[in-house]
């Protein structure tokens, strides 16, 4: 998205890592579990546990998990599903038809930590996993990594979706006997009879082959970029670029359904928002459709952005931008679309690669025109990150021949402080004015 020549050490660091490998989950399959309480996106470790992944996807792709439900919940430990479905025709509970058990693929490199998903199995038989799975609510490595040959972790829930997992875990429990002795329940049970409406139902499980989430650019046109936030099979695409006068402007595709090769949707421009240096009053915002866009990927790291903006048809070659590398994945990945739900109309995309966050903030100037800022190098600590904040000008519109941007202008600083993986505070100074905003991951 950006090469920043202002600080030579930073520029050198970015240049050195630009061709290095993409983080391991960049191209992974994502499975969206559409539950009664919201969507749970599971990112699979495709290469690490091939037998387990193939088994899980066989159930997903055959619709075996449709109308299944979370049948077991142990507070502070796990929630479990994949074993039983609600049959609408009979209003009875049936077992999920099981395929043959699979060989265990446990590895200490894939530990049973909070947010991971693993296969359940029979006691005393390491190779007995079939359809049932569970999600860890806490770090359960001490017990589940050592019992019964170790329980095979094969993916992890996206941080944004953990709010749904935690909401299910907070449901009251009833003892309905046998496998349902810790059954989470929604609402009130009438006349002692559990209905479908009382269950945490998974209405559908959908697999998306590739996850395109991340920061994309054209390396020959450093100064503009695209942030793709993908939750299951829906992406939100934010484009950071320039108007005819070379002033920063942003567009967004708010609903881009993902296929195996990309996504397409309407492109919008938003005017009338409040600048970040004053209290938010977003009532004057105007959402205007300016065209359409299609992201077509030849592989997980390269593609083409074809678009029509203001009746001008054009295209750009794009690649995934890599700005940091390491050998150890971060404990918490803050990559996502963040906002303040009470101030709908502005937001910020955080792209984390190992220990560095690149933040692109779409907001408004004092006249209500769209403007964006970027923190190009935000080193992650235990509680967040802090970075200078820059504004870019002088670039060309996407529909024109590219011209290089003027040198970036440092307009202030930004500090992100996270209280947990899904909530935080953004403290910032822009043009000498200091303010703050509460932010959360945007769930959609």
Q: Going residue by residue through the chain (444 aa), what tens digit of pLDDT does each one get?
A: 544 332 322 222 222 222 222 334 455 889 999 999 999 999 999 889 999 999 999 999 999 999 999 999 999 999 999 999 999 999 999 999 999 999 999 999 999 999 999 999 999 999 999 999 999 999 999 999 999 999 999 999 988 889 899 999 999 999 999 999 999 999 999 999 999 999 999 999 999 888 899 999 999 999 999 999 998 889 999 999 999 999 999 999 999 999 889 999 999 999 999 999 999 998 889 999 999 999 999 988 999 999 999 999 999 999 999 999 887 777 788 999 999 999 999 999 999 999 999 999 999 999 999 999 999 999 999 999 999 999 999 999 999 999 888 778 999 999 999 998 889 999 999 999 999 999 999 988
Q: Following DSSP, what letter does each residue of 385-403 receive, concatenated?
A: EEEEEEE---PPPTTS---
Domains, the chain: 8-21+210-441 (no CATH), 30-208 (2.40.100.10)
Which DSSP state fits 153?
Answer: E
Query: 3-state class of 197 per DSSP?
Result: helix
Question: Distance (Å, rounded) from C-alpha 336 to C-alpha 97?
Answer: 36
Answer yes or no: are the C-beta atoms of 297 and 372 closer than 8 Å.
no
Q: Give the chain's radius of gyration (CA, Å).
A: 23
Helix (H) or strand (E) holding 134: strand 133-136
Residues with Cβ within 8 Å of residue 305, at least 6 apart in sequence:
216, 226, 293, 294, 295, 315, 316, 317, 318
Q: Global pTM?
A: 0.77
- Count helices and strands (H / E) in the chain: 4, 29
- What pLDDT is attached to residue 22? 31
- What pLDDT is attached to residue 328? 75
Query: 3-state class of 309 per DSSP?
Result: strand
Query: Which tokens is 341 given?
Result: 């739900």
Q: Following DSSP, what letter does each residue of 225-291 receive, concatenated?
A: EEEEEEETTEEEEEEEEE-TTS-EEEEEEEEEEB-SSEEEEEEEEEE----TTS----TT-EEEEEE
């Amino acid at each position: 998205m950006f090469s920043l020549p202002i600080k030579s050490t930073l520029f050198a660091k970015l240049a050195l890592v630009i061709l290095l490998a993409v983080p391991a989950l960049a191209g992974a399959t994502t499975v969206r579990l559409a539950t009664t309480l919201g969507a749970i996106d599971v990112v699979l470790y495709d290469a690490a546990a091939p037998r387990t992944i193939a088994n899980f996807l066989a159930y997903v792709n055959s619709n075996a998990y449709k109308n299944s439900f979370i049948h077991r919940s142990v507070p502070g430990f796990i929630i479990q599903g994949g074993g039983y479905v609600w049959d609408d025709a009979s209003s009875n509970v049936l077992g999920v038809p099981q395929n043959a058990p699979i060989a265990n693929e446990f590895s200490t490199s894939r530990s049973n930590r909070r947010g991971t998903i693993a296969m359940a199995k029979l006691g005393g038989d390491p190779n007995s996993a079939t359809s049932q799975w569970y999600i860890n609510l806490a770090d359960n490595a001490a017990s589940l990594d050592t019992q019964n040959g170790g329980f095979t972790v094969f993916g992890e829930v996206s941080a944004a979706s953990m709010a749904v997992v935690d909401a299910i875990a907070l449901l009251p429990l009833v003892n309905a006997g046998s496998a349902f002795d810790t059954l989470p329940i929604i609402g009130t049970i009438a006349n002692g009879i559990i209905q479908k409406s009382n269950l945490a139902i998974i209405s559908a499980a959908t697999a998306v082959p590739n996850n395109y989430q991340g920061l994309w650019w054209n390396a020959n046109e450093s100064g503009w970029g695209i942030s793709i936030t993908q939750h299951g099979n829906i992406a939100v695409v934010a484009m950071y670029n320039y108007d005819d006068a070379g002033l920063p402007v942003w567009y967004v595709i708010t609903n881009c359904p993902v296929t195996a090769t990309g996504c397409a949707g309407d492109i919008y421009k938003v005017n009338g928002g409040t600048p970040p240096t004053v209290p938010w009053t977003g009532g004057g915002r105007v959402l205007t459709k300016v065209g359409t866009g299609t992201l077509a990927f030849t592989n997980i790291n390269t593609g083409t952005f074809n678009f029509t903006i203001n009746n001008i048809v054009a295209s750009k070659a794009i690649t995934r931008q890599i700005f940091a590398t390491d050998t150890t994945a971060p404990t918490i990945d803050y990559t996502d679309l963040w906002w303040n739900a009470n101030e709908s109309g502005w937001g910020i995309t955080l792209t984390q690669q190992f220990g560095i966050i690149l933040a692109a903030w779409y907001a408004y100037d004092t006249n209500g025109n769209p403007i964006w800022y970027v923190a190009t190098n935000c080193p992650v600590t235990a509680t967040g990150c802090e970075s200078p904040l820059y504004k870019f000008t002088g670039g060309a519109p996407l529909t024109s021949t590219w011209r290089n941007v003027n040198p970036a202008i440092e307009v202030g600083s930004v500090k992100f402080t996270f209280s947990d993986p899904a909530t935080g505070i953004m403290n910032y100074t822009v043009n000498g004015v200091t303010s703050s905003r509460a932010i959360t991951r945007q769930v959609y």
